[in-house]
Amino acid sequence: MNADGRTRLNQTPEWTALAKHREELADTHLRDLFAADPARGTGYTLRVGDLYIDYSKHLVTDETLRLLRELAAATDVFGLRDAMFCGEKINVTENRAVLHTALRAPRDAVIEVDGENVVPAVHAVLDRMSDFADRVRSGEWTGHTGKRIKNVINIGIGGSDLGPAMAYEVLRSFTDRALTVRFVSNVDGADLHEATRDLDPAETLFIIASKTFTTIETITNATSARQWLLAALGDEAAVAKHFVALSTNAEKVAEFGIDTANMFEFWDWVGGRYSYDSAIGLSLMIAIGPDRFREMLDGFRIVDDHFRTAPAEANVPLLLGLLGIWYGNFHDAQSHAVLPYSHYLSKFTAYLQQLDMESNGKSVARDGRPVEWQTGPVVWGTPGTNGQHAYYQLIHQGTKLIPADFIGFAEPVAELSEELKAQHDLLMANFFAQTQALAFGKTAEEVRAEGVPEELVAHKTFQGNRPTTTILARELTPSVLGQLIALYEHKVFVQGAVWNIDSFDQWGVELGKVLAKRVEPALTEGADVPGLDASTKALVAAYRELRGR
Ligand code: F6P
């Protein structure tokens, strides 16, 4: 029993039923499931917004799906969902509401936190962002010397970097190509160096993105960026025209020296990894323009509304979350691959890593007791065709079960030349061929029938039975990007709800931050830092010697 009176997840009858069902299905192959149901290829599909979701190539039957939905009902996933959308403080360890969905709520919506409707403030900031973005894009907002802003550099890390950096890449063909937009996150000085070395400070705008405005990497890079600017322009007053801040912390922004008139606000009920549709998206908005940004928000909202209202049988985030639970908890899968067949989605999986792994990388349940079941998977992947020539071998024939999402588009982006558009069918032929090979494999008989010598038959046999979800859309638009991100946000939510963990804190990141601060004087001054273990002490000494200190 949980401290909150709930039966522990792995002791519920729904869990036990799934474990038993898993054993019953142990010898079932996807080939059998397709043979038994000729309509499976169309029947096991769902639509949400512009997304077509095929889950037929999963190791599930109607019974599996029914049992998984019962687990979701027993763990009250929809109850927690409603609490989230209403602004209840479901982030229990930080006593905060979780309201990224309010960032894309319509102007006339009413969503209250502590008795106050947060929607007007959301739209006030969006309007200010739009105004600022238009001024930068039109050249009305100039640098200190009167030169037009041609370069925008976002300085942030984690949720204050990955979202806008990913979305900028995804929507590159919608961006103003006259603007250079770069993202600096690493405290390794090389990152800022490479981002600024060929730029004119007089034409460069820095956007300092930090929810807390205390993150050492970001503040260090922002301080160096200010020095770089002032070394060229030589006037403190230049900061006001070349630095803006995105933050929840006006006091720290002012302390850093940025006028709070140049600050775009968000709120503590927006988690860092759920924040790129807030003020944190300003760099993206400057790149693609306010209208496209709002189209993206509309896309988020389509999936929010679906998640909030669709019945369990047709609810896509619920389904995807439960499928992950099926593999992680009942097939012992350790990881989940996300494999986009779009060059523009090259940073998509890196973004999802934070979304998923920082949210659900937890081992303590909401009641404070250790979990006795697996939680979040290792999320990984890169664009698919490149992956095919690198790590797909292991997915096809290795010893590990790796469920994967394949994301593809029917149309190449409009900007490509006709010659390059013609390559799209080849790209997508690979997309479809891979999920087919993963699901159905190639039997020893099929290999033999090709005349393969007996000693090579086992090597050339593909077991198949590797589960995949296919997500297909007509084209990659701002709205479709919003739909995809909201889909994954809610999938992660569903899993956290079933596992009974707090998906919205990230205490695990704190220890490293504290220790880094403690170790730094040992590196710089050779200070004798109390409590350093023997290994770290020796490493610090080796480092100092190598640096000639
Ligand atoms: O990595 C930990 C973390 O707190 C993330 O959750 C967050 O996105 C990131 O640091 C950056 O934080 P901030 O926006 O406050 O600088």
pLDDT in tens, 263-311: 999 999 999 999 999 999 999 999 999 999 999 999 999 999 999 999 9
Quick one: which H or E segment has residue 99?
A: none
Ligand 1, atom 10, lies closest to the CA of 158
Q: Once rounded to an integer, what is the mean pLDDT over residues 314-322?
A: 98
> What is the per-residue pLDDT for 7?
87
**What is the 271 CA–ligand 1 centroid distance (Å)?**
9
> What is the per-residue pLDDT for 398?
98
* Contact yes or no for 154/115 (Cβ under 8 A): no
Encode pLDDT of 441-475 as tens digits: 999 999 999 999 999 999 999 999 999 999 999 99
Strand partners, 372: none
**What is the 468 CA–ligand 1 centroid distance (Å)?**
31
Q: Tell me which residues are annotated as active site.
A: 358, 389, 513
Ligand 1, atom 16, lies closest to the CA of 210
Reported as a pLDDT band with limits 50, 70 and 90, residue 513 is confident
Angle at alpha carbon of residue 542, lines to 540 and 545, rounded to 5°: 110
**What is the 160 CA–ligand 1 centroid distance (Å)?**
7
pTM of the entire structure?
Answer: 0.97
* Contact yes or no for 43/37 (Cβ under 8 A): yes
pLDDT higher than 70, residue 491: yes
Residues in contact with ligand 1 by the CB-under-6-Å rule are 157-160, 210-212, 215, 218, 272-273, 358, 506, 509
Which strands, in side-by-side order, build the sheet including 404-409?
45-48, 51-54, 468-473, 404-409, 335-340, 378-380
Q: Look at 89-103, 156-170, 277-291, 508-522 and tell me which has the smallest mean pLDDT.
A: 508-522
Ligand 1, atom 9, lies closest to the CA of 158
* Contact yes or no for 90/83 (Cβ under 8 A): yes
* Contact yes or no for 301/104 (Cβ under 8 A): yes
* Contact yes or no for 148/203 (Cβ under 8 A): yes
pLDDT higher than 90, residue 80: yes
Ligand 1, atom 8, lies closest to the CA of 159
Encode pLDDT of 10-43 as tens digits: 999 999 999 999 999 999 999 999 999 999 999 9
| Residue corresponding to tokens 């986009």 | 340
- Residue 433 token pair: 């061929």
Q: Closest ligand 1 atom, CA of 275?
A: 8
Pocket mutation for ligand 1, best pick of 210, 215, 492 (most atoms within 8 Å of C-beta): 215
Q: What is the chain's mean pLDDT, rounded?
A: 97
Residue 180, SS3? Answer: strand
**What is the 33 CA–ligand 1 centroid distance (Å)?**
44
pLDDT higher than 70, residue 1: no
For residue 549, CA distances in Å to 67, 139, 522 come to: 63, 49, 11
Reported as a pLDDT band with limits 50, 70 and 90, residue 323 is very high
Q: Once rounded to an integer, what is the mean pLDDT over residues 68-92?
A: 98
> What is the per-residue pLDDT for 316?
98
> What is the per-residue pLDDT for 187?
97
Pocket mutation for ligand 1, best pick of 93, 96, 211 (most atoms within 8 Å of C-beta): 211
**What is the 209 CA–ligand 1 centroid distance (Å)?**
10
> What is the per-residue pLDDT for 510?
87
> What is the per-residue pLDDT for 87?
97
Reported as a pLDDT band with limits 50, 70 and 90, residue 377 is very high
**What is the 358 CA–ligand 1 centroid distance (Å)?**
10
> What is the per-residue pLDDT for 6?
76
pLDDT higher than 80, residue 326: yes
Q: Once rounded to an integer, what is the mean pLDDT over residues 53-65?
A: 98
Encode pLDDT of 109-164 as tens digits: 999 999 999 999 999 999 999 999 999 999 999 999 999 999 999 999 999 999 99
Cα gap 499→40, rounded to integer Å: 30
Higher pLDDT, 143 or 529: 143
Q: Closest ligand 1 atom, CA of 157?
A: 11
Q: Closest ligand 1 atom, CA of 217?
A: 16
Q: Closest ligand 1 atom, CA of 280?
A: 14
Alpha-carbon torsion, ordered 438, 42, 314, 68, to 10 deg? -40
**What is the 202 CA–ligand 1 centroid distance (Å)?**
29
Return the percentage of the chain with pLDDT > 90, whole number.
96
Higher pLDDT, 456 or 515: 456
pLDDT higher than 70, residue 2: no
Cα gap 277→266, rounded to integer Å: 10
Ligand 1, atom 6, lies closest to the CA of 272
Ligand 1, atom 5, lies closest to the CA of 158
pLDDT higher than 70, residue 509: yes
Q: Closest ligand 1 atom, CA of 215?
A: 16
> What is the per-residue pLDDT for 3?
59
> What is the per-residue pLDDT for 514?
87
